[in-house]
Amino acid sequence: MSHIGSYEDRIRDFSWSIAEKELGFKPGDVINIGWYATDRICRQGKASKIALIHEGFSGVERRYTYNDIRLASNTIGTFLRGLGLKNEDRVCLFMDRIPELYLGFLGILKIGAIAQPLFSAFGDESLLVRLSNAETSAVLTQKKHIFKVRKILDKLPHLKHIIIVDHDGKAPLKEREVAFSLEASNPVEDLECFPAKAESPSVLHYTSGTTGMPKGVQHVHYSLISQYLTAKWVLDLQENDIYWCTADPGWVTGTSYGIIAPFSLGVTQCVLDAGFSTEAWYRFIEKNRISMWYSAPTAIRSLMKGGDEIVKKFDLSSLRHLASVGEPLNSEAVVWSERVFGRPFLDTYWQTETGCIVISNYPGMEVRPGSMGKPFPGITGTILDPSRSEPYPAPGKIGLVGLKFDWPSRMRTYWRNEEAFQKKFRNNWYITGDRARMDKDGYYWFAGRDDDIINTAGHLVSPFEVESALLEHPAVAESAVVSKPDPLNLEVVKAYVTLKPGFAASKDLDLEIMNFIRKKLSPLAMPQEIEFVDSLPKTRSGKIMRRILHAKEWGEEIGDTSTLENE
């Protein structure tokens, strides 16, 4: 049962000081996330509680108590400090989802350095852009990824140390390389944590950036306040939960809700460092008795593709609460999860720039399938008229999602790009870059990225609405909708579709899908063409990159593809 009051109760008299009091923080105090997520939990008498259950590719399981992660983060922090690294130095984590990634993140924060997590699947060029821009001082990596760093080393004068966390002592170390083994190191009982204040920099996340070069989003230690409370109230994390966040820490969800929030709440969390497979995921849930599961629409649609029957092979009765993040969750996925798991996935909306969930469905609140939900207590949201940058006077119209920029985990700037940061604001509203509409009850309904909205003969079409209608057809696994040029209407709707197993592309199926969605969409929103494809271009965090499909239709430059899944 949820320990949370109703949404209406929570909004009344809300203050972020609720989280400050629970965390024992007063304005002006030291607030080091690394300490709050480890030492503080041990001092509460939970030193022997399991913090992390990690299962690697080979199936080997490792368990860490809160005291284990306290000692490990102290050991890593001490090692980094011994290399001469200090507060505000950028330290990159370039690893698979091995335990050192999670423990290293906490160790970096403990010494006041700035953690810069990057996807281990990045190629050398993508790595170079981000390490150059951040003027990164050190990289923690694995033997399997070291060749990418070596390839670009001569272009990185600021990079002083390349720390190989799994070096066996056999292969010779090259220029600027140093070996480190957590297991072979003496555990450090006491580490003097850097006395970070609320505005001390903590994490530097690079956005996948729909246009232009990736931008470094600068967060601070005070972000903990928002991440702690949103995880408690939206993800409903409780003392006895076994929690699984499927996000890689190369993406903000994997740090905000895959490291900072669960550890600061003192819950047990699981990590599966293996490729996606329906059976493997269900087996992982069954084996660990996972109760709270935070995943992404792409993964949920992949599970839907696997069908309903496979679910019955596993005991998933431990699942208590499910939530989704990364891109909008189609209503079909909400209905499906309610049918097969007995509970809906609740959509949560936020961004790298917001640092925490800002609009969400909420335990105890009526779920309207396909809706983003309502703003989190303490977050003021609105829908702005794009032509006047002022809130619409009445609900129902599609416009820009705007937020009052005043919650603890908001980004402080784009790294060395204040100009781009200032462009995110209009009339004192932070513009997320997404369009949505608000219904009369205050629920938000996603329409699309601002640059994804299709204007056909003056009528604004939401790609998400068309994609959701397509997903309701039994043959459709995934869909992406973009505009294509049209001499009469300037642009019209085109749909890219992948099919579920057992279905083959044909003119008959094309016609069947068109007739099916005709009942659900207005004539102007109907696709003029369906193209069947084997896969859709996605970022490593699972977002469909519509701009690549749009560029193909319009003969435009594709731009930065460094976060493309199969780059």
Examine residue 565 and state whether it is found in any structural domain, yes or no: no
Give me the domain span that covers residue 190: 7-438
Lowest-confidence region among 23-32, 253-262, 458-467, 525-534: 458-467
When pLDDT is averaged across residues 245-249 and rounded to a whole number, the result is: 95
- 393 and 462 part of one domain: no
49 and 162 belong to one structural domain: yes
How many other C-beta atoms are found inside a 10 Å radius of the C-beta of residue 4? 17
Q: Mean of the per-residue pLDDT values for the chain? A: 93
pLDDT of residue 512: 96
Q: What share of the chain has pLDDT > 90, as a percent?
A: 78
Domain count, the chain: 2
Quick one: angle between helices 507-518 and 463-471, nearest 10? 110
Q: For 504-513, what is the mean pLDDT?
A: 96
Please tell me the least confidently modeled range out of 273-287, 501-515, 548-562: 548-562
- Same structural domain for residues 465 and 516? yes
| pLDDT of the residue at 345 | 96
Q: What pLDDT shows up at residue 462?
A: 80
- Tokens 């029957």 belong to residue: 309
Which residue, 438, 466, 500, sits at the end of a domain? 438
pLDDT tier at 565 (50, 70, 90 boundaries)? low
Q: 499 in a domain, yes or no?
A: yes
Q: Same structural domain for residues 228 and 332?
A: yes
Q: What is the CATH number of the domain that holds 300?
A: 3.40.50.12780
The residue among 404, 438, 472 that closes a domain is: 438
| Model pLDDT, residue 292 | 98
Reduce the DSSP state of residue 490 to 3 states and report it.
Answer: strand
Q: For tokens 């431990």, what's the residue?
A: 318
- Regarding whether 293 and 202 lie in a shared domain, the answer is yes
At residue 457, does pLDDT exceed 70? no
Q: Has residue 210 got a pLDDT over 50?
A: no
- Per-residue confidence (pLDDT) for residue 134, from 0 to 100: 98
Pair 55, 201 in one domain: yes
Based on the fold, state whether residues 420 and 504 are members of the same structural domain.
no
Decide which of 438, 469, 501 is a domain's last residue: 438
The CATH number linked to 547 is 3.30.300.30
Of 203-212, 255-264, 343-352, 481-490, minimum mean pLDDT range: 203-212
The more confident residue out of 522 and 549 is 549
* Euclidean distance between CA atoms 168 and 116, whole angstroms: 25
Which tokens is 161 given? 């140390």
pTM over 0.85: yes
Side chain identity, residue 39: D
Q: Which of 77-86, 426-435, 482-491 has the lowest mean pLDDT?
A: 482-491
Q: Is residue 444 part of a domain?
A: no
372 Cα distance to chain centroid: 15
Angle in degrees, CA 121, 123, 129, rounded to 5: 115
For the ranges 206-210, 423-427, 463-467, which has the lowest average pLDDT? 206-210
Q: Say yes or no to pLDDT of 1 above 50.
A: no
Give the model confidence (pLDDT) of 320-333 as tens digits: 999 999 888 889 99
- Verify that 458 and 487 share a domain, yes or no: yes
pLDDT, tens only, 252-303? 999 999 999 999 999 999 999 988 899 999 999 999 999 999 999 889 988 9
Distance CA 381, CA 365 (A): 18
Q: Does a structural domain hold residue 567?
A: no
Question: Model confidence at 2, in pLDDT bands (50, 70, 90)?
Answer: low
Do 129 and 16 lie in one domain? The reply is yes
Whether residue 226 is found in the same domain as residue 78 = yes
Query: Would you say residue 353 lies in a domain?
Result: yes
566 in a structural domain: no
> Would 257 be classed as within a structural domain?
yes
What DSSP string runs through 395-415? TT--EEEEEES-STTS--EET
Find the angle CA(445)-CA(446)-CA(447) to the nearest 5 degrees.
Answer: 115
Query: Does residue 244 contact residue 292 with C-beta atoms inside 8 Å?
Result: yes
> Radius of gyration over alpha carbons of the chain, in Å?
23
* Matching residue, tokens 């969409």: 521
Query: Same structural domain for residues 426 and 458?
Result: no
In this structure, the answer to whether residues 408 and 462 fall within a common structural domain is no
Task: Classify residue 2: in a domain, yes or no.
Answer: no
38-50 pLDDT, tens per residue? 999 999 999 999 9
